[in-house]
Structure 1
């Protein structure tokens, strides 16, 4: 689907919660059209912000325990983790400029 790193139950805690920089997790599913729409935006952000942010994907259908742990009820859901804590989340696809603004605001608030 994309070159973004995939996380699942085997590596979520290590990659996301113990990551050395903020991690944006894309909770998605194969059947979800908006999930596919947001992929190019997330891929661009992953490249453009690689020094300050890690972007990963988690298939909610294949990893229901993680989706349940974070109460993911709709897709796509984007969650930003920093130092092992959930600091921001949003449901639904959005334009790149709006997403970057929201991410930047969340990161500034977390510092």
Structure 2
């Protein structure tokens, strides 16, 4: 699957109502670490294919959702399963760290 863009109007439908683990990248254009994490997320998306869904939410363009999820720093990755937050990480993370946060939630899929 490709990485999808989500916004204030479709966040609940695309993320909270998904039957897969959804990793949401809260980011902004001006954020250098956000740009560095993008290719890492693309690699993870290719490796895990249809086991997970990766979504990106631009915090500048979607302040309602960013505020609702208490995003204080970016990049923030929030992991959602069954509409609930199951993990959160803030800042640039290496690929192996992100995978170690994702894999425990795949066994239940």
Instruction: With the length of structure 1 as denominator, give the TM-score of the two structures.
Output: 0.90
What residue is the counterpart of 1:63 in the other structure? Answer: 62
Equivalent residue runs for 1:30-109 within 5 Å: 30-105=29-104, 107=105
Kindly report the root-mean-square deviation, in angstroms, between the aligned alpha carbons of the 2 structures: 1.7
Q: CA contact under 8 A between 1:87 and 1:110: conserved in structure 2?
A: no
How far residue 4 of structure 1 moved from its aligned partner, in angstroms, is 2.1
Instruction: Give unmatched runs, 5+ long, in structure 1.
Output: none
Which runs of no fewer than 5 residues in structure 2 stay unpaired?
Answer: none
Equivalent residues of 2:20, 2:51 under 8 A apart: yes
Structure 1 residue 108: deviation in Å? 6.3
Is the alpha carbon distance of 1:44 and 1:108 closer, same or farther for their aligned partners in structure 2, counting shifts above 3 Å?
A: closer
In 1, the alpha carbon distance for the partners of 2:13 and 2:52 equals 15
Tell me the number of residue pairs that the alignment of Structure 1 and Structure 2 aligns. 108
Q: Tell me how far apart the structure 2 counterparts of residues 54 and 22 of structure 1 sit (CA, whole Å).
A: 6
Checking the alignment, whether the CA contact within 8 Å between 1:23 and 1:55 is kept in structure 2 is yes
Q: CA deviation at 1:89?
A: 0.5
Following superposition, which runs of at least 4 residues in structure 1 exceed 4 angstroms of deviation? 108-111
